[in-house]
Amino acid sequence: MTSLLTASVISVATLASCTSTQSNQQAQTTSNGSASGQTCAPEIASIDFGIISTESQQNQKPKFEPFIEAMSQTIGRPVNAFYATDYAAVIEAMGANKVQVAWYGGKSYITAAERSNAEAFAQTVNSDGTQGYYSHLITNKENPIVSEIDLQKGNGNEYIVENAKDLTFAFNDPESTSGYLVPSYYVFAQKGVNAKEAFKQLIFAGSHEATAQAVANQQVDVATNNSESLTALKASDPKAFEQIQVIWTSPVIPSDPITYRKDLPDCLKGQIKDFFYSYKDTAVLEPLGWQAFVPAEDKTWNTIRELNIGKDILEVQNDKNLTPQARQQKLDELNQKLDALK
């Protein structure tokens, strides 16, 4: 009887231990969403990843496809790249839930956060380890205006404003941080100049690649660009790069946000974050100009919001078509937005 009782106790203890282990494993699986990624949010069969149009799709696709494939394998479901023709297309696609994860610039992100349910969770780290970049004004090295500018001081912005009526000029995209917002504020708005009316001809070329090529081919006198895109151009088209002269450089701009829709299931958000925070494949990231991703949150890009509001304030102050009352009302609204960011 003693022997049978002992065996019975051991059997019960063993069963309890197994049950406890299974429960712990189930709890761990539930906490992580799914070990394989297949049981987390099974209703979401695939993910669409939005990519802003800093270059043509022809150039972007071979750079991004290995990264997209790695993401697909890690989260356990297909990830499809969405290559847009302009920044607004990614914003609208996320708002319509046709894109669930996206890479934005700072300005396009704050628009997407307002309109398209976007939430930043990571920030890109550049190949050199920095988390910022610069906006530039560029011209062709053979353009006569180069001799009129002090390249050491980089004061091309002053020359451009003073001689705008005789120049052709290209922004890239209205939702671009470095290709529109930053130069609009620092070069034009702070000096009370309306860039849309100041030049002999103004165009929106669409991408940083397009503005660089327009300058290299002497199709415009001056254009916007940035430090990251010029580095990419040096590798992809060194002949065009050699034709370009930087004539103005902005203060540092926070590097780009990676975002997902706020309404994604928590378990899927966790898998996506885990992938980005741990991904370090240099061979895949180097062509994209990145070396890693670090955790970030929405307020990381409040400096861009402040810059955007500051540009709007200066434009309102210089708008001669507004009555004093209308001007003050707009300024009060903009200052309230600034205060809300503090």
Same structural domain, 137 and 101: no
Q: Are the C-beta atoms of residues 302 and 339 closer than 8 Å to each other? A: no
Give the model's confidence band at 112: pLDDT under 50 very low, under 70 low, under 90 confident, else very high: very high
Same structural domain, 79 and 164: no
Residue 191: both structure tokens together: 């000096």
Q: Is residue 336 part of a domain?
A: yes
- Whose CA is closest to 66, among 288, 225, 291? 288
The answer, yes or no, to whether residue 295 has pLDDT greater than 50, is yes
Same structural domain, 159 and 291: no
The lowest-confidence range among 12-16, 66-70, 275-279, 325-329 is 12-16
Q: Is residue 18 part of a domain?
A: no
Give the model's confidence band at 318: pLDDT under 50 very low, under 70 low, under 90 confident, else very high: confident
Q: What are phi and psi of 288, to 5 degrees?
A: -85, -5
Give the separation between CA 250 and CA 248, rounded to whole angstroms. Answer: 7
Give the model's confidence band at 59: pLDDT under 50 very low, under 70 low, under 90 confident, else very high: very high
Q: Is residue 260 part of a domain?
A: yes
Give the separation between CA 271 and CA 202, rounded to whole angstroms. Answer: 44
Give the model's confidence band at 35: pLDDT under 50 very low, under 70 low, under 90 confident, else very high: very low
CA atoms within 13 A on the CB side of 69: 9
6-35: average pLDDT: 40
The lowest-confidence range among 58-62, 105-109, 193-197, 291-295 is 193-197
The answer, yes or no, to whether residue 4 has pLDDT greater than 50, is no
In this prediction, residue 225 carries a pLDDT of 98
In this prediction, residue 10 carries a pLDDT of 37
Same structural domain, 54 and 88: yes
Same structural domain, 171 and 279: no
Query: Which CATH number is 236's domain given?
Result: 3.40.190.10
Q: For 120-158, what is each residue's pLDDT tens digit?
A: 999 999 999 999 999 999 999 999 999 999 999 999 999
44-52: average pLDDT: 97
Give the separation between CA 150 and CA 147, rounded to whole angstroms. Answer: 8
Q: Are the C-beta atoms of residues 196 and 322 closer than 8 Å to each other? A: no
Name the H helices within the chain: 2-32, 57-75, 87-95, 106-115, 156-162, 182-183, 195-198, 208-216, 227-236, 238-241, 266-278, 282-285, 302-317, 324-340
Residue found by looking up tokens 């899927």 in the block: 268
Residue 98: CB atoms within 10 A of its CB come to: 13
In this prediction, residue 9 carries a pLDDT of 36
Q: Are strands 168-171 and 244-249 parallel, antiparallel or unpaired?
A: unpaired
Same structural domain, 153 and 222: yes
- Whose CA is closest to 272, among 58, 10, 40, 98? 40
Residue found by looking up tokens 């929106």 in the block: 204
Give the model's confidence band at 320: pLDDT under 50 very low, under 70 low, under 90 confident, else very high: confident
Q: Is residue 328 part of a domain?
A: yes
